[in-house]
Structure 1
Amino acid sequence: MMQNKYKTVEESQVRISELMLPSHSNFNGKIHGGYILSLLDQIAFACASKHSGVYCVTASVDTVDFLKPIEIGELVTMKASVNYVGRSSMVIGIRVEAENIQTGAVKHCNSSHITMVAKDEKGKAVQVPGLILKTDNDIRRFAQSIKRKEIKIKDNEEFQATDFNSEEYLHIVEKYKVKIER
């Protein structure tokens, strides 16, 4: 099924640009975050499918950091790369920039990491090509993805082991802007 056992980061990179229209805006006149999330999912799919050569599904949206608002009329460019590969999974890193097409000013608006899984026609996870890391940036992104995954596993294990019905966690809740009425 896999033609190449390894691919470079560059071979799977995807870049899309789209002009932001009034129909993409929220009630505050900025581009709706949900619209950007939809575009992020589409480019992650394209990048992962390009790397794996098969259909891919979204396994998790690991991080989405909205850094700056996007305005109507700005040209949004998304750049996606495979940052990490496992057996059948890939972490796709996406950078979102918005350009004011009148002034040429570009701002970094969003960074995201989405885990995609390669599937066959029957929906079974399939092995993906390995990743050839050529630059220090490629190595850094791969290492960051490993660390992010380790932290996610550790945090999930700790969360699952926590008994939130216990009275010992009441003091945590009471530190916040809540009023407990029993």
Structure 2
Amino acid sequence: MNNISKDYKENPVGKSPSLSQVEMTELVLPNDTNLLGNLLGGRLMHWIDIAGAMAASRHSNRIVATVALDSLDFRHPARMGELVMLKAKLTWVGKTSMEVKVTAYAENLKTGSVILTNQAYITFVALDSEGKPTPVPPLILETEEEKREFEEAEARRAERLKRKEKG
């Protein structure tokens, strides 16, 4: 586990994605499944939103609200009795908003096999004590992958703003 407060005190002007990333694990129980024994999409979306919000809150040190879900890909079902591991990591930060990529994997406990099931990009806004948007620390990009994800996030943001103008 990262010592977030120590690392942030050393560089209070920004945070790297690794400082705020979140990993969360859930067990798929019968109440979480449909008639086929597959994890309900709505339950997974709930878990994805929670993991993403925790990463955004960790980055901003604020309560956050979900603003947009740009994409959610269902690639493979998670089944009853499997573990769902969610990994949430910031990809982009603006003045008050943050994009978080949440990746979900299913692990079959009997075989040990792990498969990518879902991926989502969610935008959150940081809120002050009165529920108004408030500035967040910048994102310090450390790797080439983080720089690439940041550029891709900017493109998604531009598309989202374009849709908003039309709508």
TM-score (norm 2): 0.90
Name the counterpart of 2:101. Answer: 93
* CA distance in structure 2 between the partners assigned to 1:28 and 1:103 by the alignment: 20
* Residue 151 of structure 2, aligned match among 132, 143, 151: 143
Q: Is 1:66 aligned to residue 74 of structure 2?
A: yes
Q: CA deviation at 1:61?
A: 1.2
* CA distance in structure 2 between the partners assigned to 1:150 and 1:57 by the alignment: 20
SS in 2 for 1:130: coil
* CA distance in structure 1 between the partners assigned to 2:133 and 2:122 by the alignment: 17
TM-score (norm 1): 0.83
Name the counterpart of 1:121. Answer: 129
Structure 1 unaligned spans of 5+: 161-182
Structure 2 unaligned spans of 5+: 1-7
Deviations 1:47-101 (A, max 9, x none): 0100000111101111111111111111110000010000000001000000111
Q: CA deviation at 1:156?
A: 4.1
Name the counterpart of 2:44. Answer: 36
Aligned-pair Cα RMSD in Å: 1.4
* CA distance in structure 2 between the partners assigned to 1:24 and 1:37 by the alignment: 12
SS in 2 for 1:6: coil
Deviations 1:97-134 (A, max 9, x none): 00111111111000000100000110111100001111
Structure 1 runs of 4+ off > 6 angstroms?
none
* Residue 32 of structure 2, aligned match among 20, 24, 28: 24
Letter in 1 for 2:133: A
Name the counterpart of 1:108. Answer: 116
Percent of paired sites with the same residue = 36
Name the counterpart of 2:21. Answer: 13
Higher Cα Rg: structure 1 or 2? 1
